């Protein structure tokens, strides 16, 4: 069996090397090959990437943070205090061998990084990783891979952490619609629903009092609000964990800040995605220069989070927030100028906009246009907008069922929730798919939604409700044609998704065979 190990200790002159020697001897005695990286005062000689790739398991015998641990992500992992390696090398080797044989369980998942501290030492990392809901959190970030692959791995790490927020928040909102009727949303946030105008029970999800919510909409309203709170974290979590995948724990602060700024400025998940990458890149750059030892201690705790959060936040607010605001008002004006044009063309455009960023600025412009039309009595535009917003999650859900292999386990989980979210007109259900692979997913979803929007307009479907999806079917005019428009868009999007994903899958499989001996693991496997 091939093993790799990292040893480290506070001083880096004694235990690091004793542990290395101890496990080397133990591995040799047990007939395994092992490569040990001593992260000590004599300078670390990094284990070559191809050795890591070929390793069956990884041992961290460390009392201080293992540097660049992301290199080992996805490998079965055993973590122990450095002394345990010295005192009982053979036991540690035996554990590593066992971990290697236990498929899926004991790996350094992206999710286990935070838990994989010396505090969690002395047991296989599987125990630490066991709290993670899905094996898909094993997002392998391979340093040696090309930039495109790593980029996708960073995005997938962010997505895998975001999915529970999408599922939990989305399902809560859907349940609140089922329990309290779709007007729950209007009762909580205020507005007009089917001729009734409700005052707002809350000013926003950042600060609310419970009594008015319960008074206006009961516990269904509260569930709705809680679902919205979970959704509020969606973009920050995406951005935070993209940065985390890139720069380890130090990426979390600027990543979350970037995501929060993206949310606050209405930049949506695409803004958060850019923010997360930006935050990760800035931390990676800040980690590079060597600093004096006296200073090194406060770098990860104070200096890097401070500087990176400030820089990321300012760039996000100025370079992303402002253009988004300008583009939003420009698009709104443009749309209003289009009123009276060909109905099908308008449906096509609005549909594509709904699917472009799913809750982001473009989607909001289209949806707000639908609301404005509804307020002025045009119920067809509202129907088209809502249908186009239901298509993306449903198409993703369908695609994951038709060709499971093209999706990661995390995406398949997201697909299960996406059925309900799509039916409830919670377009965010498609974000996990779009964020992980935007260049393929977004155009596919836009194509289907555009078709749905155009068909809905052509058929003359109407909606008296501003939201609610399937739960407001009683307020839909021509529900049969509505279903046809939806089905057409879903099929188109799912087909585009599957074609684009298969092409990539085929290309990837081909290149993998030619480059390595088949040891590399597909992303998220």
Site string for other proteins, 26-65 (x = CB under 8 A): ------------x-xxxx-------------------x--
Greatest CA span in the chain, whole angstroms? 82
- Any contact of residue 120 with other proteins (CB under 8 A)? no
Give, for 8, the enclosing helix (H) or strand (E): strand 2-8
x-or-dash string of contact with other proteins, 255-294, rule CB under 8 A: --------------------------------------x-
Binding flag, residue 295, other proteins (CB under 8 A): no
Q: Does 17 bind other proteins (CB under 8 A)?
A: yes
> What are the DSSP calls for 269-300, one per residue?
HHHHHHHHHHHHHHHHHHHSS---HHHHTTII
- Is 506 near other proteins (CB under 8 A)? no
Establish if 83 lies at the interface with other proteins (CB under 8 A): yes
3-state secondary structure 419-460: HHHHHCCCHHHHHHHHHHCHHHHHHHHHHHHHHHHHHHHHHC
**Binding of other proteins at residue 25 (CB under 8 A)?**
yes
Q: Which is nearer to other proteins, 19 or 278 (CB)?
A: 19
Binding of other proteins by 80 (CB under 8 A) = no
**Binding of other proteins by 21 (CB under 8 A):** yes
Q: Is 10 in the site for other proteins (CB under 8 A)?
A: yes
Whether 9 is catalytic is yes
Kindly state whether residue 108 participates in binding other proteins, applying the rule CB under 8 A. Answer: no
**Residues making up the chain, counted from first to last:** 525
Tell me how far, at minimum, the Cβ of 8 lies from other proteins, in Å.
12
C-beta of 12 vs 466, nearer to other proteins: 12
Residue 448 beta carbon to other proteins: minimum distance, rounded to whole angstroms: 59
Residue in this structure with the two tokens 């009982």, named with its chain if needed: 88
Tokens at residue 295, please?
């200073």
Residues forming a β-bridge with 8: 62
Minimum gap (Å) between residue 368 Cβ and other proteins: 58
Residue 43 phi, psi dihedral angles, 5° rounding: 90, 135
67 contacts other proteins (rule: CB under 8 A): no
Does the protein bind other proteins through residue 68 (CB under 8 A)?
no
Q: What string of H, E and C letters represents the secondary structure of 95-132? A: HHHHHHHCCCCCECCHHHCCCCCHHHCCEEHHHHHCCC
Residue 448, Cα to own-chain centre: how many angstroms? Answer: 23
User: Interface residues for other proteins in 317-356 (CB under 8 A)?
Assistant: none
Q: Give me the least distance between CB of 65 and other proteins, in Å please.
A: 14
Q: Please, what is the minimum distance in Å from the beta carbon of residue 29 to other proteins?
A: 12
Label the pairing between strands 33-38 and 2-8. parallel
Instruction: Write down the residue that tokens 């709904």 correspond to.
Output: 354
13 binds other proteins per the rule CB under 8 A: yes
Query: For every residue of 490-506, which 3-state class applies, written as one string?
Result: HHHHHHHHHHHHHHHHH
Active-site entry in 3, 4, 5, 9: 9
Active-site residues, by number, are: 9
Binding site for other proteins (CB under 8 A): 10-18, 20-22, 25, 38, 40-43, 63, 83, 86-89, 293
């Amino acid at each position: 069996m091939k093993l790799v190990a990292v040893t480290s200790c506070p001083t880096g002159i004694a235990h690091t090397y004793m542990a290395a020697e101890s496990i080397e001897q133990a591995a040799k005695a047990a007939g395994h090959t092992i490569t040990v990286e001593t992260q000590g005062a004599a300078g670390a000689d990094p284990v070559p990437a191809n050795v890591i790739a070929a390793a069956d398991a990884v041992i961290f015998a460390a009392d201080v943070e293992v540097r660049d641990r992301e290199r080992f992500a996805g490998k079965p992992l055993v973590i122990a205090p450095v002394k345990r390696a010295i005192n009982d090398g053979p036991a540690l080797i035996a554990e590593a061998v066992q971990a290697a044989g236990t498929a899926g369980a004991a790996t350094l998942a992206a999710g286990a990084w935070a838990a994989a501290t010396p505090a969690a030492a002395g047991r296989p990392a599987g125990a630490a990783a066991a709290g993670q809901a899905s094996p898909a959190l094993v997002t392998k970030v391979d340093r040696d891979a090309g930039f495109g692959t790593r980029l996708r791995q960073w995005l997938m790490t962010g997505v895998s952490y975001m999915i529970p927020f999408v599922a939990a928040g989305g399902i809560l909102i859907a349940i609140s619609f089922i329990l309290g009727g779709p007007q729950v949303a209007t009762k909580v946030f205020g507005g007009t629903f089917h001729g009734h105008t409700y005052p707002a029970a809350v000013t926003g999800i950042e600060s609310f009092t419970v009594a008015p919510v319960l008074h206006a909409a009961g516990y269904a309203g509260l569930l709705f609000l809680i679902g919205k709170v979970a959704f509020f974290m969606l973009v920050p979590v995406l951005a935070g964990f993209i940065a985390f995948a890139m720069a380890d724990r130090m990426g979390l602060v600027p990543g979350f800040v970037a995501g929060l700024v993206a949310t606050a400025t209405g930049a949506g998940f695409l803004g958060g995605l850019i923010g997360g990458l930006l935050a990760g890149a800035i931390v990676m750059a800040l980690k590079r220069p060597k600093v004096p030892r006296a200073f090194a201690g406060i770098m990860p705790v104070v200096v890097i989070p401070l500087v990176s959060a400030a820089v990321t936040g300012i760039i996000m607010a100025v370079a992303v927030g402002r253009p988004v605001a300008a583009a939003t008002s420009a698009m709104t004006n443009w749309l209003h100028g289009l009123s009276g044009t060909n109905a099908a063309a308008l449906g096509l455009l609005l549909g594509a906009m709904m699917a472009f960023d799913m809750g982001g600025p473009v989607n909001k412009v289209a949806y707000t246009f639908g609301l404005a039309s509804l307020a002025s009595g045009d119920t067809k535009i509202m129907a088209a907008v809502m249908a186009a917003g239901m298509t993306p999650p449903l198409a993703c859900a369908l695609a994951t069922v038709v060709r499971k292999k093209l999706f990661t386990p995390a995406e398949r989980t997201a697909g299960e929730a996406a059925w309900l979210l799509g039916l409830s007109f919670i377009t965010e259900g498609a974000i996990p798919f779009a964020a992980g692979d935007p260049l393929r997913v977004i155009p596919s979803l836009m194509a289907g939604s555009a078709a749905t929007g155009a068909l809905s307009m052509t058929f003359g479907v109407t909606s008296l409700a501003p939201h609610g999806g399937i739960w407001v079917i009683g307020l839909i005019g021509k529900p049969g044609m509505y279903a046809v428009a939806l089905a057409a868009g879903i099929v188109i999007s799912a087909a585009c998704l599957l074609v684009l994903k298969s092409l990539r899958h085929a290309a990837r499989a081909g290149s993998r065979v030619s480059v390595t001996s088949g040891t590399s693991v597909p992303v998220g496997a």
